[in-house]
Structure formats: C-alpha cells, structure tokens
Structure 1
Amino acid sequence: MTGRRGLGGRWVRRRPLRTRLALAASAAVALVALGVCAAAFLVLRVQMTRQLDLNLAQTATQLTHQTRGWGPTAGDTSCQYQAVPCVQIVPSDPAKDPDKRYGLPVSDATRQVAAGHRPAYYTNLTVAGHPVRMVTTHLPHKAEALQVALRSDTVERGVRHAAWALSAIGGAGVLLAAALGYWVSRTGLAPVARLTATAERIAATRDARHRIELPSGPPAREDEVTRLATSFNIMLGELEQSVTAQRRLVADASHELRTPLTALRTNAELLARAGRLTDAQRDRASAALGRQLREVTTLVNDLIELARDEEPQPLVEQVRPAALLEHAVGAAREHWPEITFTTRVTPDSATVTVPGVPPRLARLLSNLLDNAAKFSPPGGPVDAELTLTSGKPGATTLDLTVRDHGPGIAPDDLPHVFDRFYRAEAARALPGSGLGLAMARQIARAHGAELTAERAPGGGALFRLRVPVTEA
C-alpha cells in the first residue's frame, strides 16, 4: 500500500502545475458536492423514518383506548393495505396467549414491555412479503403489550428515489467540479504561463526587452499572480538596464582605449627605429610612450573598480572623514600647485567616524578635488567644507561640499555628469577619461551615501556628499 501511494504521489508531482491545480480544485469541489449529497440523503432518510414513527405513535395512542376491553389478540397476518395498521395485543404471561397464531413476531422483549419492564421500541421487519415498521408499547393498567405495524413501502421507495436523484446530482457536481477546476487552473495560471513564455523567449533570444502583458485594472485589485508578473517585469527592466549599461560600458571603454593604444603602437614602432632618430626625438617618443602607458594603466584600473559594484566587507572599518579630507587636500596641493585649496571643518564634525573602506573613500575625495582643480582657472580657489547636519531623530548626516570657481556645469550637462565616459564640451580638451565622477558616485552609493552635483551660487560647480551618521 505504501508503494502504491508513493507511486501515486510521484505521478502527481510529475504533472504540470496547471494539471495539479485542476485536479486539486476538482477534487475539492467534488468532495464538497458528494458530501452535500450524502448528508442530504441521510437527513432525508432520517426524516422520512421519523415521520413514519410519528404515525405509528399516534396510531398506537388511538388504539390504546379502542382496545381497552379486547384482551390478548392475534393480529392480521397479511398487512395488505398500506394505510391500514396491523394490530395485536400480547400478554406478559405466555399462558394467556390466544389460540390463534400471532401475525406479528413476539419475543422476550415484547413480554418485558407487556410486564412494564422495558420501554416502547420500534422494529423493522417483513410480514407476508411486505416491509413493515412496528412499534411495541405497554398498555396502561394491564400486563399487556400493544403492537402496531404499518407498511414502509412508501418510505423505502422514497428513499430509493432520493438516492438515485442525489446520485445524479452528485455525478453532475463531479463533472461541474472538473470543468470548474480546468477553468480555474487555466484562468488563474494564465499570468504564470505568460511569465514562463516570456522567460523562455528571453533565454532563447537573450533579449531583455520582452515584458509580460498585465491585465487592465486598478493596482488595488491586483492578485498575487499579477503582482508576481509585475515584479518580474520590474526585474526585466532592471536586467535590461544592466545589460544596456554593460554594453555601453564595453563600447565606451573600447572607444576610449582605441586612441591611447594607437598612440602606444605608433610610439613603439617609432622607438623600434631608434637608430634613425636623434637623441631629442628618441627622448620625446620615450616620454610619450611612458605617459601613454600610465594613462592606459589608469584607465584600466578605473574600469576594474567601476566593474565592482560593492565594497569588500572585510576591509570596512571606522573612518574619520575629517582626517581623510585633510590628507586628500594635501595630496591635491602637491598635484595641483597652481590651485589654492581651502578647507573648513566644523568642530562637531572633526571627530565623527563612519564605517567605510579608507582607500576607497580617499579615492572619492581625491576624484572630487581633482575634478574641481581641473575646471578652476590658474590661481583660482577650490573650497572644501565638512559639516555635521542634524535633522529628525536618527537622520544626522555628515555633509562634505567641494566647490570650484570655474565655468560651472551647463544645464544640459548636469543630469549626465556622473555617467561613465561622459565629458561635456568644455571638458573634452582637458585630460581625463570621464570616469572620475562615475567612480566617485559608485563609491558613495557603496557606502550608503549620496553624491549630487549642482551649479554653485555666483558661478562654478558644487558637489555635495551626504553620509548618514549613526547616533550612539
């Protein structure tokens, strides 16, 4: 038996989800329909038998007064009329039985009822080939029992008709359950089928632009399957953006690498013919080759860092941004001696610490300072300010602003300053690959911070870094 149940369970599990759902829904509705029919049959049978018992009890009560002077009497043995009861009186003492044979069966229980030692009871029996129901009750003030029997053909016939009718209804209920189960599985799993088809189409074409068609209607009336399809569409949108960004990154990287690699090849070929060059030409080509190698190395390193979307958790530690800013400004002064860097750190922000990776945060600050110095006029100032801003409880932030006094950011360029390889027209003549600000924003997001750009009042560009601070 266990093996058979195991085989049946495996067979069900191997069926498609639509088939299993249809079977489950059909079985549930069929069980309910059969249960209702069975309950209706039992109730109907009990009620019809009860009605027959009431008729017997009323008839026995009436005959109690009519047969007061009869004495022991043998009943009619035929019971040939359905509406006419069979009646007999049985004494408690068998010696007082009449000479005529009893038409209804007499047992020890009948004698006990006659003696008043047992309560009245009902019996189903057959008399002269007819089904009858009999009641045996005690006659008051006498040691006799009154037996009254009525034919139960009508009751049994009604019970049989009810059984056939309820069986037909139950069969129709099972068929309806099967139809409803198929409809429920087909309708309820339609979004799942569309989801599966979309996933298979994406897997076959590798095109994440496909979407699942959603039913029309207000969002408040969406069911679980529709919400699943909506979430899948959102996931597809994110996947499409990721694939697009990846392709754009590869295309932009190949475009940016093409020029320096061509220059590297040219200088390498030139140095290969060093015997034909003068010492000055050879030195210039060697210096250009080294400079281009450093640019390509920097570009490749930036691409590797941009490809990493999160910071390595083992390297996270408590960092004091004020100290990092001081170190980054010192390095920027050495790299940009013609620029005047000024810093302002408020006393309440000087000792604040935040969790982070020190080298990555230092890279973020140096990128912002280098970007500001690159766009500042010679001798122009670059202002860096670190403040602690307290808002609602639990909403304290450490704000770092870096401002230059250059041409500023054009309104058309402002939404794209953090895009990879994006360079505004004013920056295309300047050195760089267009990855510094993109890397700065990625580092900020990896640390749960927010980096924004805006036009500074009075001219120039203003970059603002907001780092959430956990209050002790």
Structure 2
Amino acid sequence: MSSRRRLGARWRRHRPLRTRLAMAASAAVALVAVGVCTAAFFVIRYELFHQLDLNLTQSVTLAIQQNRGAGPGVLAGECRYLSAPACAQVVPADPAKDPSKPYLLPVAPPVREVAAGTRNAYYTNITLPDGLPARMLTTTFPGGDKSLQVALRSDLVRKGVGQAAGLLSGVGAAGVLLAAALGYWVSRTGLAPVARLTATAEHIAATRDPSHRIELPPGPPDKEDEVTRLAASFNTMLGELEQSVTAQRRLVADASHELRTPLTALRTNAELLARAERLTPAQRERASAALGRQIREVSVLVNDLIDLARDEEPTPLLEEVRLAPLLAHTVDTARAHWPATPFQLELADASVTLPGVPARLARLISNLLDNAAKFSPAGVPVEVVLASGELTVRDHGPGIAPADLPHVFDRFYRAEQARALPGSGLGLAMARQVARAHGAELTAERAAGGGALFRLTLPPG
C-alpha cells in the first residue's frame, strides 16, 4: 500500500497540471458517456424482453380461449415471433396421463408442480428442437391438474439486444474520444489565466517589486470566477506584503533614530567615568546613576523592538490563561514599581479565560498599567476592571488630546505632554500588537470626567 502511494505521489509530481486536468476532465466525461450507454442498453434489453413476456401472456389467454377442455398434448407446434398461439401444449400433473405423442417443449418437474397447483406460473428461456432460442411461460390450464406451456421465439429479440449493444458501444467509444478532445480543450482554456498568473508571480519574484498588481477583468465582484478571485486574493497578499516591507523599513529607520540619542548619552557618561579620578565623589555618583538609568532605558527599548518585530506566537505555545490571577499578579508588580500610585482592581468576572501566551499577556497589561501610572498624579488611583469580555484601565491624568487619539498606538509616537516623561513610545504599540495576536482589540478613548481609558475587548469564548 505504501509503495502504491509513493508511485501515485511520484506520478502527480512528474505530470504537469494541464495533463492531470485534461485526464481528469476526460475521465469524468468518459465515465458519464459510458454510464449513460450502459444504462440505455439495460433499459432497451428490459423493454424488449418485457414486450416478449406480454406477448406470451396474450398467447396464453388466446390458447385457453381456443382450447377449453382440451386434453394433454401439443396444441400448436409452430413457434412464430409475436404470433399466437405458438408452440402451446398442455401437461398433466400425473405423468401417467401423458399422451403417446411426445411433447414439443421440454417438460421439467416444475411444470408438473404448476399443474398440481403447488407452484406459481413462471418464465424460462429454452432452446427449441430446431436450435432456435425461445422464451416459455408455464401457467395453470383450466380443468384442473393441468398446466399450459406457451413458447415464442426470442431470436429476433436477442438480435435486437445485440444490435443495441453494438450501437451503444459505438456511441460510447465516440463519447470517450469526444471526452478526450473536450478535456484537452478545457485544460488549455481553463488554465490559460493560471498560466498568466504564474508568469506575473514569477516576474514579481524576479524583480522583488511588491507594488506590482495583476490586472483583473472588469465586472461586479459577485460574478467573478475562481481564477479572478485567486488573482484578487493574490493582489491582496501583495498589498499586505508591501505594507509589511514598508513597516519593516520604517521600524528600522525609527529604531535607528530613537537609539541614536541614548547611545550618545551612554558614550558620554562612559567617557566621563573613564576619567573618574578628575571627578568628585558626587559627580561620579551622578554619572554612574545616569549611566545605569540609560542602560535600563536602552534595554527596555531594545526589548520592545524585539517584541514588535517578532511574529505571532505559534499555536502549540498557546494555553488557556485565566485572566484574573494574571491581572492580580501584574497589578501587584505595578504597585511595587509605582509606589506613589494606588491601583484599584475590580474583578467583576473572575472566570474569564483567553487562549494565549501568559508572558505576552502579562506584558500587555503591564504596559497599560505603566502608561496609566505615568500620567496619573501622585495619590490618584488607577482603576482596573475585569468584566465579562472586557478589561479596562483608566487613569485620571490629563487625558488624550483629540489630535493625538488616532496616533496613540503608532510606533515611537509621543504626545506633546509625554515628551518630558520617560519612555520610548513603543509600549502601547506593542500592547496592541499582542492584543491582536490573541484575537482581542485594544482601543483608547477620553474618559468621562477626565483622564484616559484603555479598553481591551476579548474575543468571544
């Protein structure tokens, strides 16, 4: 079995798609043609023999009407096709009552059983003494303990069946040849758009120009065929690829710009500490603290860049994450990191779960809490609420200006009032990326009464 599968796979690899499509189409049409011819043959055969059986029934009726009270023996000895009576004879149930003259038709034990009334009438195919085929009906004969046998020649019926078989075989062969021609035509015309699509894809691969698009035929979208939809999907994929390449280039450019300033400060402080003997203890302490702070900022920036550049986690790493314990742990960590900001946690639905990666979900929540604490005045609480299907984080800071609201989740974007605060402008961008990777949606809005409200809408469970 495995060797057959390998041979089949090898055949599919070495046969071009056009040949496979032509053979599949030809085989389908050929099977239909052969099936129709076969069904027609059996219908014709059935109708011809059914008509012969009806003639036999009429012959029996006529023989009974013309020979009432007749004794055992041959009633008519000339078998004529579709004529009545023909080859008729009466057979008694008791062989001792048989006439001295031999019977023309064969008398088998079932014939005696029909005469005795222990068996129903039946049809059978026989061969007459002259060698011609015939069909015989054996039934009861009025008068008791006698059966009537009537036979009609079936050679013309068999000849008609043979002629029908020959004619339908020719029609089937012509259908197979026509199927082969149609399969070849379908493979050429049907795969012509695919060939053009392949040529376009090869051109894009050679030029590495994702801005190129495939021209689509005019017409409403609901009347597009499968190849046109394939080309449209290919154009959509090219658009996504172009956006991805553009985003990567922009990320590299923005990252190089954002890293230039902290790296310059690091080099300056490192050079300053290299001449530590010329500094006072207070100056060395300030330079060392600045150097450590800048190293942490660069580390956070690099980690954020890595997370933003990383694709979505693969499915095997996902697990059912209970958000309530994860949220409580993240809030406790935020309280330790922001001791001047109280965090109010409300778990309205502690049973909420989400398929995901716990570490990345914790990073998402941590970024939202850090952003809220950064803009909250000292002593003013940050409100965190987990309700059914939704997580909200609200601060009571200056809020988000209408001009900044569309750009809150852009990479490296920092509002006017945030430029004096620590941060790189990547936390919210990474939070949205993690949310979308888990099928959730993160939005920002101005809270009623002041402050900013971030809403994480969870996917339906």
Does the TM-score normalized on the shorter chain lie above 0.5?
yes
How far 1:248 moved relative to its partner? 0.9
State the 1:152 CA deviation: 2.7
Taking a change above 3 Å as real, the CA distance of residues 457 and 182 of structure 1, as seen in their structure-2 partners, is farther
2:100 to 78, 97, 100: 97
What CA distance in whole angstroms lies between the structure 2 residues aligned with 1:6 and 1:46? 42
- Over the aligned positions, Cα root-mean-square deviation in angstroms equals 5.9
Tell me whether 1:399 sits opposite 2:398 in the alignment: no
- 2:202 and 2:370 map into 1 onto residues whose CA distance is 47
Q: Which amino acid aligns with 1:387?
A: E
- Report the structure number with the largest CA radius of gyration: 1
Residue 387 of structure 1, aligned match among 380, 383, 388: 383
> 1: distance between equivalents of 2:110 and 2:444?
104
Q: Deviations over 1:375-426 (max 9, x none)?
A: xxxxxx6785423669xx7256443225249xx8572x543344233467x6
Runs of 5+ consecutive residues of structure 2 not aligned to the other structure: 353-357
Q: 1:241 to 1:431 in 2, by over 3 A?
A: same
Over residues 3-30 of structure 1, what are the superposed CA-to-partner deviations in whole Å (9 max), with x where a residue is unaligned? 9966764455545666656655654554
Q: Write the distance in 2 (CA, Å) between the matches of 1:421 and 1:115.
A: 107
Matched-pair contact (CA < 8 Å) for 2:327–2:365? no
Could you tell me whether the CA contact under 8 Å between 1:388 and 1:396 is conserved in 2? Answer: no
2:426 aligned with 1:438: yes
Per-residue CA deviations over 1:10-54 (Å, capped at 9, x if unaligned) read 455545666656655654554444334323322321221121122
1:340 corresponding residue in structure 2 = none
How far is 1:159 from its partner? Answer: 1.4
Per-residue deviation at 1:463?
Answer: 3.6
1:452 counterpart = 2:444:
yes
Q: Where do 1:188-267 residues align within 5 Å?
A: 206-209=208-211, 237-258=239-260
> Counterpart of 2:303?
304
Deviations 1:213-250 (A, max 9, x none): 77877777889998887777666554443332221111
- After TM superposition, the structure 1 = structure 2 runs for residues 333-412 of structure 1, keeping only pairs within 5 Å, are 349=346, 365-366=369-370, 372=375, 384-387=380-383, 394-395=388-389, 397-404=391-398, 409=401, 411=403
Q: Using the alignment, how far apart are the partners of 1:313 and 1:133 within structure 2? A: 77
Deviation sequence 1:40-98 (CA, Å, 0-9, x none): 32232122112112212322332334345876458657x58875764364665587334
SS of corresponding position for 2:37: helix
Alpha-carbon displacement from aligned partner over 1:342-396 (angstroms, at most 9, x marks no partner)? x6766x75999998777875665455555x59xxxxxxx6785423669xx7256
Aligned to 2:39: 39
C-alpha spacing 1:384/1:395, structure 2 compared with 1 (3 Å): farther
- 2:168 counterpart letter in structure 1: L
Name the CA shift for 1:328/1:235 in 2 (closer, same or farther; >3 Å).
farther
Q: Is the 8 A contact 2:56 2:136 kept in 1?
A: yes
Decide which of 310, 319, 326 is 2:328's aligned counterpart: 319
Native 8 Å contact 1:33 1:173 kept in 2: yes
Partner of 2:61: 61
1:124 matched residue in structure 2 = 126
> 1:466: Cα distance to partner?
3.6
SS in structure 2 of the partner of residue 60 of structure 1: helix
With over 3 angstroms needed to count, the CA separation of the structure-2 counterparts of 1:172 and 1:214, relative to structure 1, is farther
213 and 385 in structure 1: CA distance in 2 versus 1, 3 angstrom threshold = farther
For residue 302 of structure 1, report the CA deviation from its aligned partner.
0.3
Corresponding residue of 1:421: 412
- In 1, the alpha carbon distance for the partners of 2:347 and 2:112 equals 108
Is the alpha carbon distance of 1:451 and 1:81 closer, same or farther for their aligned partners in structure 2, counting shifts above 3 Å? closer
* Cα pair distance change 1:83/1:16, threshold 3 Å: same
Whole-angstrom CA distance in 2 between matches of 1:300 and 1:323: 23
Give the letter for the 1:465 counterpart. Answer: F
Gaps of 5+ in 1: 332-342, 374-380
Cα pair distance change 1:386/1:67, threshold 3 Å: same
Corresponding residue SS for 1:250: helix
When residues 67 and 395 of structure 1 are mapped into structure 2, their CA distance, relative to the original with a 3 A threshold, is closer
Please list, as runs of the form range in 1=range in 2, the aligned pairs for 1:159-198 lying within 5 A after superposition.
159-175=161-177
| Structure-to-structure mapping, 1:4-23, within 5 angstroms | 9-10=8-9, 13-14=12-13, 15=15, 23=23
Amino acid in structure 2 at the alignment position of 1:452: A
Return closer, same or farther for 1:361/1:96 CA change in 2, 3 Å cut-off. Answer: closer
Q: In structure 2, what is the equivalent of residue 337 of structure 1?
A: none
1:384/1:400 contact within 8 Å kept: no
Q: Deviations over 1:182-238 (max 9, x none)?
A: 788789889987887777666555555466777877777889998887777666554
Distance 1:306 1:260 in 2: 15
Opposite residue 52 of structure 1, the aligned amino acid is: L
| Identical pairs, percent | 46
The answer to whether the 8 Å contact 2:338/2:373 transfers is yes
Residue 444 of structure 1, CA deviation: 6.3
Change (3 A) 1:146 1:289: closer
Secondary structure of the equivalent of 2:388?
Answer: coil
How many residues end up aligned between the 2 structures? 428
Matched-pair contact (CA < 8 Å) for 1:194–1:213 = no
| 8 Å CA contact 1:194, 1:212 repeated in 2 | no
Q: Which deviations, in whole Å up to 9, do the C-alpha atoms of 1:276-326 show, x marking residues without a partner? A: xxx69xx99999999689657734540332321489999984436765565
The alignment partner of 1:96 has SS state of coil
- In 2, are the aligned partners of 1:363 and 1:440 still within 8 Å (CA)? yes
1:112 aligned counterpart, secondary structure: helix
Could you tell me how far 1:110 is from its partner in structure 2?
9.0
- d(CA) in 2 for partners of 1:114 and 1:261? 114
| Aligned-partner Cα distance in 2 for 1:138–1:451 | 94
Mark the CA change 1:364 to 1:64 in structure 2 (over 3 Å): closer, same or farther: closer
Deviation, structure 1 residue 270: 11
Contact 1:368 1:437 survives alignment (8 Å): no
Work out whether residues 37 and 167 of structure 1, in 8 Å CA contact, stay in contact via their aligned partners in 2: yes
Q: Give the deviation of 1:255 after TM superposition.
A: 3.4
1-side partners of 2:208 and 2:306: how far apart?
Answer: 21
